[in-house]
Amino acid sequence: MTGVGVTAPALEATQVSRAAGVAFIFKKAVISALVALVLFSLMIGIRTEAGPAGQLIYWTRFGDLAAMVATVFGGSIVVELLRQWWGPVDTVRIVPPRVQSTLALARRAIAPVLLVFTFLVPVIFYNERYILDLGILVLTYVMLGWGLNVVVGLAGLLDLGYVAFYAVGAYSYALLATTFGLSFWVCLPLAGILAALWGVLLGFPVLRLRGDYLAIVTLAFGEIIRLVIINWQSLTGGPNGVTGIPRPTLFGIPLTPADDGLAARLGIEFSPTHRIVFLFYLILALALLTNWVTIRLRRLPIGRAWEALREDEVACRALGINTTTTKLTAFATGAMFGGFAGAFFATRQGFISPESFTFQESALVLAIVVLGGMGSQLGVALAALAMIGGFELFRGLDQYRMLVFGLAMVLLMIWRPRGLIGHRAPTVFLRHSHAISSDLVKEGHG
Amino acid sequence: MDYFAQQLINGIVLGSIYGLIAIGYTMVYGIVGMINFAHGDIFMIGGFIALISFLILVSIGLTVVPVILLIVLLVSMAITALYGWTVERIAYRPLRHSFRLAPMLSAIGMSFVLTNFSQVTQGARVKPVPPIITGGYTLHEGSGGFVVQLSNVQIIVVVTTVVLLAIFTWLVARTRLGRDMRACEQDQTMAALLGVDVDRTISMTFVIGAALAAVAGMMYLLYYGLVDFFMGFVAGIKAFTAAVLGGIGSLPGAMLGGLAIGLIETLWSAYFSVEYKDVAAFSILIIVLIFLPTGLLGRPEVEKV
Amino acid sequence: MSGDCILTIDHLTMRFGGIVAVHDLSFDAERRKITALIGPNGAGKTTVFNCITGFYKPTSGTMRLTHDDRRDIQLERLNDFRISKQAKVARTFQNIRLFPGMTALENLMVAQHNALMRASGLTFLGLIGAPSWRTAEKRAIDQATLWLDRIGLIDRADDAAGNLPYGDQRRLEIARAMCTEPALLCLDEPAAGLNARESAALSELLLSIRADHGVSILLIEHDMSVVMEISDHVVVMDYGVKIAEGTPQNVRDDPKVIAAYLGADEEEAIAVMESGT
Ligand SMILES: Nc1ncnc2c1ncn2[C@@H]1O[C@H](COP(=O)(O)OP(=O)(O)OP(=O)(O)O)[C@@H](O)[C@H]1O
Ligand SMILES: [Mg+2]
């Protein structure tokens, strides 16, 4: 695909830009502004709204239009200047060895430091409910990311409907707990198993599919699950969702102000924060379990077969690997972790509805995995922190939030198409474990 | 029987709209091998631009319906095409030779951007328009009092689709641009060496796809009389489903898939349940792909070892 | 052909639409011998391999594999991965298909998948780190080390396979095939792209594999010096049909073979004739 003829014009363009300087930048900015003017003319220049009598009314917003066009003009100049300062995208920057070794050290330290910090979060931020909630949210996505990482990052199978398993887990717990009164700890494994079963169910038809056919089928599957949840009102409560989902207990001891509650038993004063802290450690434990199992699996034949499948399916078959079961186990394992996360989500919220399980969620989790650097556990954790944390930062932007989020996704992909952690760690070594550059690592066809 | 005939007509009209959107997916997929997730939103933008330009034309006192329709069609095709071009330029071109998942996520990001752009600029509420084209023909009056009707809007939707499809097929089969496109589909490096401007050809593919999506958006507006910022998502996945069903990369396949999805959806709603119409469409997609992994008209992929 | 055959190909035909890639081909491969399959480009050699190893379903014909214990397996009835798993046929590919993002050692570990899968109790024993799994894993690493040593790649065990030089990749692919403990090893142009010294080393490696492990080898090769030196029996194909077979000596002097190569490519024909004199 890459060819001399294809890339040459781009190189030429940058050289020309160096030479032509101001005139070139100006010309480019004018063109961008003109394009923006046409694009925004109707969409921003004119605002439509359904009037009180149902008829359509409109008013003009030429001021906003002018402001946007001016912004694009200015932005184009800034971007072009930055680009010239930074050099072509592929420029190799020489990093002095001293800096390099410091960086390597920092990189090795990052995972333990992050882990210790996470453990301390409830201690440090005990009185900051908001941070604790955010922490729980981030950890939920870390877990989802690690779960999907098995399917996408290790086995190289594209799954755009991961949220379906999250939903299956959440609804399994919600319905089992509300109808049969089963406890969280009984339901948790059940939710995981049910989700895994659905994973296998999805896995079967898609086994023969490759690439984008797989993508669309998994997407369709996610939508089917969501639509069924919405429409099967007698079971799922439809769009109203399930309410009154029991809160988790510490192995039977509820975290309530009641007499048999944890606080009363320990003889301390009850505080609602206890439950939040408990939830925090619960999701942390679940996430770490996911991580531990995944790391373990990578070193077992099944995990190596997943990665081999991502590298070259034909070679796998020639080596006697049953690609069907290998794919199915990947789907099932990923789905199971999604199911656990879903059960946690249900117990944390106490209320679930189909709105929490849209395609956006699948896309978000997939973005976390890809941005993390496919297959890298640490990368996924960092990406989840960056994405969810970043998303929270923009909370103030309100309706512009998704807009900014979408743009960030585009820019991040352009900046790091291979993700934050751009290498793969071998699962076994004889003498030294060298990280493998992601340029060599394939990303699968499925 | 009459009821069935009526549903058939409705299904074909809906299918034409899906087909028009599906062509954009199929073309882009054929040439750059990626799912243009933002394409459904391009369709939505097309609908909005048609709505706004229609509103302006009416408010400046134009009353001749055919003239209005023509102007709206051209304006929305032109502006939406520019959207297609811009999306490719910003979000896909930098990732042209990158890993497979990067452009896909970039496309999903772009889809979020477009959805929310129109939510922010035009508000979240559904925008209704009064029927622009009225009237129609009664084809058959059944004994039970059921009439099979063919409205003028339906005729316009189908005729426009057929005409545009013809023009477009000619474009791909006979013109220089079409030849360049097919060359890029086969082998971009070789095409570039032979003097085909690959960047331009790919841009043009997005432009044409977007223009057809704009037509679909306008037809949707005429047929259903409303647009909203979220309509791109569902229509988009269904059109992509249509493209896959027909065999992605194949133009007649896209149209066929569109018709199939339109018919399934309408007939299912008519005979079974409206709530599960999308479930039916997606289930049929999955079932078809189990038996024909490359769709109805897709070339079977032989694995060369 | 008399003797003890490991593989018997009987009236094998493979059609792709209008193209008949292999037409009514029959030949035998003897146990613990090296059988070479040669022929000009496009003769259908790789297609024969793809039929044997289950990547293509032959249009017609049978392929029988007889194990040491006289057990017969009809290869055309098994599908892809079972041919390696049950029939113990391993192969390499004309354009190398290693796992480029995995290390040389990992490549050899993947090849022992089925044995390791059993040892890990279908993953469950492995997950809890059972001692039996630990020893099995150790043994697998030892086995891989042994092969890395034999192909002279022990120093590069922890390097990504995709980073190895071409010749090393070829040998690694052979080692990987051998790690599945095959009865029949099918090699598709193992000497392609190697220089003379590397080719000689390859010949030696193949001879020692046969001597030490008792495997039978089916070899597609354009490098006539390798074919003449190591093969016991040669089958010549052209346009999908067998045009000659016999000892290397016989085949080299066969006018039909010379004509086939002459018709296809003059240089190759000369190479055939020269390598005999
Ligand atoms: N999957 C396929 N579909 C269609 N034709 C095929 C397929 N595989 C092989 N062929 C055709 O079969 C014929 C034989 O090909 P094959 O690869 O077996 O030749 P070969 O003897 O291995 O040649 P070489 O020495 O170049 O490797 C060729 O004409 C090839 O185009
Ligand atoms: Mg060959």
More confident residue, B99 or C270: B99
The answer to whether residue C99 neighbours chain B at the CB level (below 8 Å) is no
Average pLDDT rounded to a whole number, residues C130-152: 90
Q: In whole angstroms, what is the distance from residue A319 CA to residue C91 CA? A: 8
For residue A423, being part of any structural domain is answered with no
Chain C CB contacts of B300 below 8 Å: none
In this structure, the answer to whether residues A253 and A352 fall within a common structural domain is: yes
pLDDT confidence of residue A248: 78
Q: Which amino acid residue places its CA nearest to atom 28 of ligand 1?
A: C42
Burial of A193 (0-12, 13-18, 19+ CB in 10 A): middle
pLDDT confidence of residue A1: 36
pLDDT confidence of residue C222: 87
For residue A8, being part of any structural domain is answered with no
Atom from ligand 1 closest to the CA of residue C240: 14
Average pLDDT rounded to a whole number, residues C249-253: 84
Q: What pTM, to 2 d.p., does this model score? A: 0.88
Chains in touch with C (3+ beta-carbon pairs under 8 Å) read A, B
Identify the sign of the CA torsion B40, B45, B48, B53: negative
More confident residue, A123 or C169: C169
The answer to whether residue B145 neighbours chain A at the CB level (below 8 Å) is no
Classify B157 in phi/psi space as left (phi over 0), alpha (psi -120 to 50) or beta: alpha
More confident residue, B299 or C42: C42
Chains in touch with A (3+ beta-carbon pairs under 8 Å) read B, C
- Ligand 1 site residues (CB inside 6 A) read B 302, 304; C 16, 19, 21, 39, 41-47, 94
pLDDT confidence of residue C122: 80
Q: Are B72 and B145 in contact (CB under 8 A)?
A: no
pLDDT confidence of residue A11: 47
C-alpha distances in angstroms, B46 versus B139, B220, B257? 32, 10, 22
Output b/e per residue, A118-154; b: 16+ Cβ within 10 A.
beebbeebeeeeeebebbbbbbbbbbbbbbbbbbbbb
pLDDT confidence of residue B189: 85
In this structure, the answer to whether residues A55 and A165 fall within a common structural domain is: no
- Checking if the pLDDT of C171 tops 80, the result is yes
Could you tell me the residue range of the domain that residue B33 belongs to? 19-231
Closest CA to A315 of B214, B303, B36, B242: B303
For residue B290, being part of any structural domain is answered with no
For residue B262, being part of any structural domain is answered with no
CB contact (8 A) between residue B305 and residue C16? no
CB contact (8 A) between residue A410 and residue B293? no
Atom from ligand 1 closest to the CA of residue C49: 18
> Quick check: ipTM above 0.90?
no
For residue A267, being part of any structural domain is answered with yes
By most ligand atoms within 8 Å of CB, the mutation choice from C14, C16, C241 for ligand 1 is C16
Q: Are A229 and A352 in contact (CB under 8 A)?
A: no
> Residue B214's pLDDT band (boundaries 50, 70, 90)?
very high
The secondary structure of C30-57 as a DSSP string is ETTSEEEEE-STTSSHHHHHHHHTTSS-
Q: How many CA atoms lie within 13 A of A245 on its CB side?
A: 27
For residue B147, the cross-strand partners are: B141
Mean pLDDT estimate for chain C? 86
In this structure, the answer to whether residues A287 and A229 fall within a common structural domain is: yes
Amino acid residing at C38: I
Mean pLDDT estimate for chain B? 88
pLDDT confidence of residue A118: 84
CATH no., domain C1-88+182-277: 3.40.50.300
H/E element, B76: helix B65-87
pLDDT confidence of residue B113: 94
Residues 143-202 of C with CB under 8 A from B: none
Could you tell me the residue range of the domain that residue A220 belongs to? 106-415
Q: In whole angstroms, what is the distance from residue B237 CA to residue B93 CA? A: 23
Domain boundaries, chain C: 1-88+182-277, 98-180
pLDDT confidence of residue A341: 95
Q: In A125-162, where does DSSP find H-type helix?
A: 129-149
> Residue B115's pLDDT band (boundaries 50, 70, 90)?
very high
Of A50, A89, A407, the CB nearest to B109: A407
Q: How far is B99 from chain C (nearest CA, A)?
A: 14
Q: In whole angstroms, what is the distance from residue B139 CA to residue B146 CA? A: 11
Amino acid residing at C185: L
CB contact (8 A) between residue A433 and residue C101? no
pLDDT confidence of residue A422: 75
CB contact (8 A) between residue A1 and residue B188? yes
The domain boundary residue, chosen from A37, A57, A86: A86
Number of domains observed in the structure of chain B: 1
- E-only strand ranges, chain B: 127-128, 136-141, 147-151, 226-227
**Tokens, residue A180:** 């049969």
pLDDT confidence of residue B72: 94
Q: Which amino acid residue places its CA nearest to atom 25 of ligand 1?
A: C41
pLDDT confidence of residue C67: 86
Q: In whole angstroms, what is the distance from residue A303 CA to residue A309 CA? A: 10
Q: How far is A191 from chain B (nearest CA, A)?
A: 24
Q: Which amino acid residue places its CA nearest to atom 30 of ligand 1?
A: C42
For residue B188, being part of any structural domain is answered with yes
CB contact (8 A) between residue B302 and residue C16? yes
Average pLDDT rounded to a whole number, residues C132-141: 90
Classify C189 in phi/psi space as left (phi over 0), alpha (psi -120 to 50) or beta: left
pLDDT confidence of residue A230: 92
CB contact (8 A) between residue B79 and residue A89? no
Q: In whole angstroms, what is the distance from residue B53 CA to residue A316 CA? A: 57
Which residues, other chains included, contact A268 with Cβ-Cβ below 8 Å and sequence gap of 6+?
none
Nearest bound ligand to CA C55? 1
Return the SS3 of B60. Answer: coil
For residue B242, being part of any structural domain is answered with no
Task: Please write the tens of the pLDDT for every residue from C37-96.
Answer: 998 888 899 999 999 998 888 999 999 888 888 888 888 888 888 888 888 899 999 999
pLDDT tens series, chain A, 446 aa: 333 344 444 444 445 445 557 888 889 899 999 999 999 999 998 898 888 877 888 888 999 999 999 999 999 999 888 887 776 655 555 666 777 777 777 777 888 888 888 888 888 887 888 888 899 999 999 999 999 999 998 998 888 899 999 999 999 999 998 888 888 888 899 999 999 999 998 888 777 777 777 888 888 889 999 999 999 988 888 888 888 888 877 777 777 777 777 777 777 777 777 888 889 999 999 999 999 999 999 999 999 999 999 999 899 999 999 988 999 999 999 999 999 999 999 999 889 999 999 988 999 999 999 888 877 888 899 999 988 888 888 777 777 888 888 998 899 888 888 888 878 888 888 888 888 877 788 877 65
Of C81, C126, C162, the CB nearest to A321: C81
For residue B259, being part of any structural domain is answered with no
The residue whose two tokens read 């426009």 is B160
For residue C218, the cross-strand partners are: C35, C186
For residue A169, being part of any structural domain is answered with yes
The answer to whether residue A208 neighbours chain C at the CB level (below 8 Å) is no
- Please give the angle made by the CA atoms of A52, A58 and A64, to the nearest 5 degrees: 130
Nearest bound ligand to CA C41? 1
Q: In whole angstroms, what is the distance from residue C194 CA to residue C166 CA? A: 8
Which of A34, A39, A313 to probe the B interface (max B CBs under 10 A)?
A: A39
The answer to whether residue A424 neighbours chain C at the CB level (below 8 Å) is yes
Identify the sign of the CA torsion B259, B261, B266, B272: positive
For residue C169, the cross-strand partners are: none
- E-only strand ranges, A23-161: 46-50, 56-60
The Å distance, Cα C42 to ligand 1 centre, comes to 5
The residue whose two tokens read 């679940």 is A286
